[in-house]
Structure 1
Amino acid sequence: MLQVCLNGARDAADGGAVPLSPGALAESAAGAVAAGAVDVHVHPKSPCGHDTLSPRAVASTLEAVRSLVTVPVGVTTGAWAEPDPASRIERVRSWTVLPDHASVNWHEPGAEELAAVLLERGVGIEAGIWSGTDGAERFLRSPLAPRVLRVLAEVTDHEPAAAEEAAHALLARLGVAHGRPVLLHGEEGGAWPVLRLAGRLGLATRIGLEDTLLLPDGERAADNAELVAAALAGP
């Protein structure tokens, strides 16, 4: 399974290829799905281009993307979009249009409570487990772990060799992850090495302008569709 991560926490400073508005995100999603992506992960943006969990932004983004694609669409719930755990939960409770799934970073304060609210609302959970954090241990102790949609194993090391080593270590810490599917991915300089490792291990993975702006040859990607095509083209 290849997911496309359309934009992440990037903003206009990262270049015009990064989609920010609902319309741009919808068009980018459509191109990526046409190129072979089967799932979409998106960060809804405020009018200023910052990540937000506001119900209006989430609704407009989801409606726009779903108008052009029929694959599952998920959003972030990262603490940077709403630092206060209680406010983050209230935001999610106020959503009027629900994503198919949402990522919950298990090392962040309030993750367990947020995950419980999402489950109550019928939203699937991608359990974000970052390398370099205690997220794996927290997740494995959680009574909610067997109920998540998948584990999003995120390797945060940017140096290629270090990223692949960190990926192996993270997978070892997760073990069988309560039997849940694992999506393994890296970022920046580690994005392509970790994606190739996921392929060799038979794991789901993702690619997109959230994780890297560059193609495997180091050239800047024109859009998310070009990254997806490169990922599916193999080594």
Structure 2
Amino acid sequence: MSVPVSVPVPVPVLQVTLNGSRTAAESAAVPLSPEALVESAVESVEAGATEVLVHPRTPCGRESLSPRVVGPLLAALRAAVPAPVPLVVCATVAAEPDPAARLARIAGWEVLPDRAVVGLSEPGAVELASALAERGVAVDGVLRPVRVGPSPAPEDAAGRPGDHAPDGVSRLPAGLPLTRLLVPLPDAGAPARLSLRLPGSGPDVPLTRLLAARADEVVLYGRDDAAWPVLRWAGRLGAGCRTGVGDVLRLPDGCPAPSNAALVAAAVAHLTAVKAPRARRDPEDPEDQKDPEDQKDPKGTA
């Protein structure tokens, strides 16, 4: 089975997160078996997804980086999903808490993903990213945001709260062979309150400034109530976006999402509607951040 990418998407990346940390108890739309994941991936690409992110799981549902779990799943996905669509595996502590064991698992992979997600604040992040890069796997680093102020930090890719730092700055460790940043946000206004400390870059870099200069190298996403406002905001900036049941279980109108493909189709519609006439909006201009849709409650009413 093979599908074409037939729906144009007006952003650099629209990634579908097929399962994330979700369980069947949370929604019937969460694909669990390898067969269900493959079917969901195919349908999502048909709907417009340009990348597929998966959290490989054992038959009992535990996240795993074991070659015996990752290899067959990636092989099945690649046989069904067209080659230009990158396959992404989440390689965070949720799948393997021990840094040395994580490296050993990855060293044993016989089927490689195109990209892998690494939690930048997790133990062994530099070594893990380097091992992936040496094997030819592009590294996406999850920046666990901190906020300037008392508001709680959002969850990272593995579903844990973000860290707080006294100066409100998220730091990137040196020596990371990153190709892209994944930034989870609690709401569409969060970038104005977040700065990055890039190795060798000198002063802290506001996320808004990074987005204005290199939005195509950043994927912004939110979970649950933040998912749709963040997606619309990212689309206006020209940044990469993410959707799928791993992040959100409801459509923009508040109805339960029946599938990943339905979420992707809704994301494409939203991104097409909010895409600015000019190539990129100014993330520091309040007028460019206004969106009437963001003022609606989860049910879609004003």
TM-score (norm 2): 0.70
Q: Which residue of 2 aligns with 1:221?
A: 257
Distance 2:45 2:140 in 1: 20
| Gaps in structure 2 of 5+ consecutive residues | 1-12, 147-162, 196-204, 274-302
Q: Which amino acid aligns with 1:112?
A: V
Q: Secondary structure at the residue paired with 2:175?
A: coil
User: In the TM superposition, what is the alpha-carbon distance from 1:20 to its structure 2 partner?
Assistant: 1.4
TM alignment of 1:93-112, pairs within 5 A: 93-112=107-126
TM alignment of 1:179-194, pairs within 5 A: 181-194=217-230
Q: How many residues align structurally?
A: 226
* Preserved contact between residue 153 and residue 182 of structure 1 (Cα < 8 Å): yes
TM alignment of 1:32-181, pairs within 5 A: 32-70=44-82, 71-132=85-146, 133=163, 137-139=170-172, 141-144=173-176, 147-155=177-185, 157=186, 163-170=187-194, 173-174=206-207, 175-176=209-210, 181=217
| Gaps in structure 1 of 5+ consecutive residues | 158-162
* Preserved contact between residue 38 and residue 76 of structure 2 (Cα < 8 Å): yes
Q: Secondary structure at the residue paired with 2:194?
A: helix
Distance 1:74 1:206 in 2: 12
Out of 194, 199, 205, the residue aligned to residue 241 of structure 2 is 205
Q: Which amino acid aligns with 1:169?
A: R
Q: Secondary structure at the residue paired with 1:211?
A: coil
User: In the TM superposition, what is the alpha-carbon distance from 1:134 to its structure 2 partner?
Assistant: 6.6
Q: Secondary structure at the residue paired with 1:16?
A: coil
User: In the TM superposition, what is the alpha-carbon distance from 1:84 to its structure 2 partner?
Assistant: 1.1
Q: Secondary structure at the residue paired with 2:25?
A: helix
Structure 1 window deviating more from structure 2 (8-17 vs 119-128): it is 8-17
The answer to whether 1:2 aligns with 2:32 is no
Identity among equivalent pairs (%): 48
Root mean square deviation, CA, Å: 2.0
Q: Which amino acid aligns with 2:257?
A: A
Q: Which amino acid aligns with 2:236?
A: R
Q: Which amino acid aligns with 1:77?
A: A
Given the superposition, is the C-alpha separation of residues 134 and 54 from structure 1 closer, same or farther in structure 2, using an over 3 Å criterion? Answer: farther
TM-score (norm 1): 0.89
* Preserved contact between residue 40 and residue 74 of structure 1 (Cα < 8 Å): yes
Distance 2:72 2:192 in 1: 38
* Preserved contact between residue 8 and residue 42 of structure 1 (Cα < 8 Å): yes
Distance 1:67 1:11 in 2: 26
Q: Which residue of 2 aligns with 1:160?
A: none
User: In the TM superposition, what is the alpha-carbon distance from 1:32 to its structure 2 partner?
Assistant: 0.4
Distance 1:168 1:64 in 2: 41
The answer to whether 1:12 aligns with 2:44 is no
* Preserved contact between residue 20 and residue 246 of structure 2 (Cα < 8 Å): yes
* Preserved contact between residue 11 and residue 50 of structure 1 (Cα < 8 Å): no
User: In the TM superposition, what is the alpha-carbon distance from 1:107 to its structure 2 partner?
Assistant: 0.8
Q: Which amino acid aligns with 2:178?
A: V
* Preserved contact between residue 234 and residue 241 of structure 2 (Cα < 8 Å): yes
User: In the TM superposition, what is the alpha-carbon distance from 1:96 to its structure 2 partner?
Assistant: 1.4
The answer to whether 1:27 aligns with 2:61 is no
Q: Secondary structure at the residue paired with 2:139?
A: strand
User: In the TM superposition, what is the alpha-carbon distance from 1:75 to its structure 2 partner?
Assistant: 0.5
Q: Whose helix fraction is larger, Structure 1's or Structure 2's?
A: 1
Distance 2:134 2:96 in 1: 20
Q: Which amino acid aligns with 2:256?
A: R
